[in-house]
Amino acid sequence: MLVEEIVTNIKDLNKDELEARHIEKVYLESADLVKRIQRVKSDHGTDIGIRLKEPRDLLAGDVLYMDDNNLIIIDVLSDDLLVISPRGIREMGVIAHQLGNRHLPAQFEENDMLVQYDYLVEELLQQLDIPYTREERKVKEAFRHIGHSHA
């Protein structure tokens, strides 16, 4: 099977549409969500080639295939994350500046900053006494590095 475009996302389907179909999942690491071309296998053994025509990242819940009886969707494997919970705007500014200098991609959920685990970042958080936890957690989208160079 070759997938060249995303059908929809399960968040846009109603409960009846989901319950009426058999669901297969393709489990991807968050880093693979940025790949437009890849070969994957569903949890039921279906071989799938993904070659997206449009330049876009995959998202958790994206529907690769749908008919009256079946759905094949993207699910994301858990990442080893540092969940940073600054106590105020000053701590957020300090850690954002420190991580920005390292060009470390981050995501935000509520008042938490999520970064992929790195022992040096963990040591920095301890030194700065900024609250954090280390968790296995699924992210909805890929951690994306922003291209930048110092001129």
Residues 115 and 69 in one domain: no
- Structural domain range at position 65: 2-76
> Are 71 and 91 contained in the same domain?
no
Q: What is the CATH number of the domain that holds 103?
A: 3.30.70.790
CA distance 151 to 38: 35
User: DSSP 3-state assignment of 141?
Assistant: coil
Rounded to whole angstroms, the Cα distance separating 5 from 26 reads 15
- The reported pLDDT for the residue numbered 147 is 53
Residues in CB range of 120: below 8 A, 6 or more apart: none
pLDDT tens-digit map of 33-81: 999 899 999 999 999 999 999 989 999 999 999 999 999 999 999 999 9
Task: Give the global pTM.
Answer: 0.76
Distance of alpha carbon 105 from alpha carbon 100, whole angstroms: 8
